[in-house]
Chain A
Amino acid sequence: MSYQNKDNMRLAKKIGEWIDRDKVIKFSFEGEDYTGYEGDTITSALWANGVKVLGRSFKYHRARGVLSLANHDVNILVTDGVDTNIRADVVTLQSGMTLKVVNTEGGVVNDKKKIIDSISALLPVGFYYKAFHSPAVLFPFWEKFIRKAAGLGVVNFNYPRITQRKLNAYCDVLVIGAGPSGLSAALMAASNGLEVILVDENQQLGGSLVYDRAGGNAAKEMLDELSVKMAETPNIKVYTGSYAAGYYADHMVPIVTAKGITKVRAKTVIAATGAFEQPPVFRHNDLPGVMLGSAAQRLIYRYGVKPFNTCVVVTANAHGYRVALDLLNAGCTVVALVDMRAEADRDQYVGELARKGVKIYSSYCVYEALPSKSKLGVRGVTICPFDEKNGTSNTANSITLDCDGIAMSAGWAPAAALLYQSGMGVRFDNDIQQFVPNSLPNGIFAAGKVNGVYNIKQRGLDGMRAAAAALQYLGKSVETINVDHHQGASPSHFYPIVMHPKGKNFVDFDEDIAVKDFINAAQEGFDNIELMKRFTTVGMGPSQGKHSNMNAIRILAKIRNLPVEKIGTTTARPFFHPTPFGHLGGRSFHAHRLTTIHMWHKAANAVFVDVGAWSRPAYYQKSGLSRIETLQQEAIAVRQSVGIIDGGTLGKIEVCGPDAGLFLERFYTGKYIDQKVGTTRYALMLDESGVIVDDGIASRLAEQLFYLTVSTSNAAAVYREMQRWLQIWQLNVGLVNVTGAYGLINIAGPKSRDVLAKLVDIELSEANFPIGSALETQILGFSARIIRVGFVANLAYEIHMPSAQALNAWKALMQSGVKEGIRPFGTDTQRLLRLELGHHMPGYDTDGLTIPYEVGAEHALAMDKPFFVGQRSLQIIAKKPRNKILVSFVLPLDYSSEMPQDCNLVIDDGVIKGRVTSVSYSPAAKCVIGLAYVHPTQNQLGATFEIRTDNGSLAKATIVKTPFFNAE
């Protein structure tokens, strides 16, 4: 059954229309085929086909048609099967679209959920706070129903990942809005040599000049004139079909286009954003066929579509008269113009309308729109005398008129979201019944309707005034331009609200909120605009209150008997229009760092792990072996022969100059001034509260050159802190971060000396190069630094070389160690190896509160120094009792129950005493070994404590000395 009457509503070609009638587009909607033209929106094409029921409301599932045709018809959301929540009023029609309305059950015409509308009296605003929760056990049951009703479109889980480009752009003046004031502002600024960006959300320039014509040509002529000038002005970059999504600090405005986002950094911003037409509120003002006057005009002049056959215009301003003339011009029968005002100065259009046979009812209101039998459209209106002062309707004298549609023009709300976000202060201008800018931040200007200027000539002038002000702000000398204050009747009515005992007089179409809902909310104490918003949800729907907030404020003002300005406005948050993830996220930058040996690791089947931005081999996978088995094999190679690990990710910092030793003594806990050239010392870094931050090795390579290695993940932060303290201490020191410039290879194990010896010209014997030695030499013909270290094995060397040569050095060492069975190992194995030696690792065995006393690092604290970072706090902490200490433990040799894991807890008599920080089976010690925090009273060699494993069983651990195995 076809419900829609399917009249052909397409008009003869209109001058300046946006559609191309040579290009016919086929599409379907709710299972039926239609055609439109290129340039149509989905809504305009449907309306041209006589389709009026375009969607269903969110809460009551009431039939809805065109409201604004300006990107706030959020009851008209469709899906094409791929994408959802498509806004039909503005999305351009594409060939082959197969469209369905979202959130219906059984189609938009027969939506079964419309039943909710008939029980709406049961569901006043806020009802859900008062229902379902008692008894509590039943709430999950009710919640299922509530959750099912929630939401609009169904998300397509197969929708592709799209990352749009995000660009940066710069200009002297960003003009937002390309209506008469925006165009004038842009032209004026550009003609004075400024770089201008002009943005408008519509597909073409002109704003209301395109469609608000009062049946004549003056607006079109003005637009043509401005368009010619635009074409002649090269220094204006125009973005149409694009919106300014928000205002952010220091004049950054993201412009959202179909293809991505351009983040504009402007020196000045002119908001010529216009105003949203506001609906008068009367019963059934939401029926398909009831639309804003400007929506009717848009249909006519942009798309060549007749809004109605026979209609009534209800108005409270001059704009309604212009709309009526445009409707007549489009061939509509205008049965009546209903003017809610008592004694507005009757404007120039009255005579013209009368001549054309339109009956004007002054001091009348539309009391209600009469739904057609199906409730899917309008069959007429009831109008009656209206006392605008009291807002009362004289229903005794009502008149019923037949019509198939109503055009509404009662006033405007400024599209001031970006101005609010910039920090604008407002005042309420009673002459125009609108909030207007009272104070604007530096470099921000407003022009046109958003600035309270409605006269068409003055709007252009106001754009020029704003441009002149922007020019002056940028230091150009131009004459100040003055604009007249608004003359005549207000463009907005002070209270376009018509009460009706049966309600359904909607204020917010997104959320189906009617006048009574506000009254009830206020009665319950939600009589602050923000509380009212939260309780009623007015303005919280996808259109973000563009057509509802102003009426809500007026209603609340009336309820509280306060002037509108005392009510204030709700906060205007970004975004101006909802903005897709793919646009906002853009291309993702996932920066990562690789050492030059990376490709070798990759070829050797390394399994990588991320350490900060770095990618490091955790171990090298061998086929047929588990991770644990692989780790153990790599560890055994180190213990029995020789292993090699890429340490290029470690932080490497040169501390140079006469005060280098002094600097280190202040920065680290140890002593360095008396350190001998050619030796290394442990470097423990604390923060000012005495907590361990990092540790590393300081090698003194020359009298005035210390070479610091610090941990991979802290490298950048440690260098940064060094730079800061150096500024504060003003020592004669140079700092050079060579983390990326130097490669680092660590070879370890009893055979490491033999392997290295083949490549260097120095004596590596124990006597000549014992642990703690460091020197500069040559390897493969380039200079290298060799440090004898002991972190993973008693015999081990770090070789530091220019990173471009690291791969060569690695290959040479691998070659040199073939006979010894040299084996690469990764970070997971390294953790096991250092554990076997009993070394703790900052960040692994410590946390954000660990102090040196808790890990037995007293030996590293030169408390007798005059100063080091953290020293004074340690003096305080030293007086306090400890509550934990890191100990080394083993499990019995025959332990075979649940294996403890890192972070299992140490439990004593049901109380948490500490936790395991590192635990592993050690092939060298041939038992499970680990480090754990225990209570200091538990800390005795040979004492036992209990670890609770994942399955709840307790493992008995014994405190032992380290290293865990006989390392000699």
Chain B
Amino acid sequence: MRANRILDTLAGQGITRRAFLKYCATLASLMALPPSAGKAFADALAKAPRPSVIWLPFQECTGCTEAITRSHSPSIEGMLFDMISLDYQETLMAAAGHQAEAALHEAIQRNMGKYLLIVDGSVPLGLDGAYSCIAGRSNLETLKEVAAGAAAIVAMGSCAAYGGLPKANPNPTGAVAVSDVIKDKPIINIPGCPPIPVVMTGVLAHFLTFGGLPELDRLGRPKAFYGETIHDRCYRRPFYDQGKFAKTFDDEGARKGWCLFELGCKGPVTYNACASVKWNDGTSWPVESGHGCLGCSEPDFWDAGGFYKALSMPARPLKLEPAAIAAGVVAGAAIAASSRSRKSAAKAAHETTTLADLEK
């Protein structure tokens, strides 16, 4: 697969200019860019060459890959694979064993300094990285080697972006995020468990159109998709504002589609685009299906106090209180006893005041 113009590749697959324009308009809408950006995408992408992409899976569950490939063509996310030259992806490529390793090294050599590296999965540092090895090499070694020649890195999914489920307390493998290992390359985090496929497409489109990374937030996430909370975009938000909450998953409120805040929805603190982009070709998304947001695009979401606890509830049961009350009683009783004995002492020492005592 030689790199050539994206539009030509698409035309070769029967995708017309109008279909492409429609795709770009939709993409711009999803990225919350001004509607006019759709045309800018189309103009730029039509001329851009297809970039080489190397995709490395580390300590992961393949859920991210599944999410993207299951939403494959003919949906717009599927066009991702038409826009890029995917030179290495273990799950998808036909090659195996030494052949696959050879393909990887060939891709690195050929596109040195220009290819895009996509990583899914966290990097285990425990036991010198022995928890996850491919071809006899630890993920850590592979990452360092491949990252060295990359133009930019996309950390795909919460594991690559933050350390993910493997990093959950007590983090037995010493899992870390890509950004904890690689410090000298631009890194885009696309967290989510799994991430929304179109975010990947949007980032690629941006990379190809504007030749750089999109605007990122403090956690390295594209603001276009992670700029607002689930809560802000949630169609159930009016119920929150009216104070109408489902109290259990099968009560009247749940049937009426009221706000799931009290059932532990993490929408208010979760930055992601689920509420507007939805899942499964725009079919539905967690809150629409009746379950609160888990907050999967936020760091350490599994250790954030329980999925079914309202955000305003304590993250863990209070433990110190009985001891505190007991200590308060003891401290109070001690000072009260001391005060009373001081008072008694003052009384015992009382000298009846006489007229003479009125003078100094």
A in complex with B = no
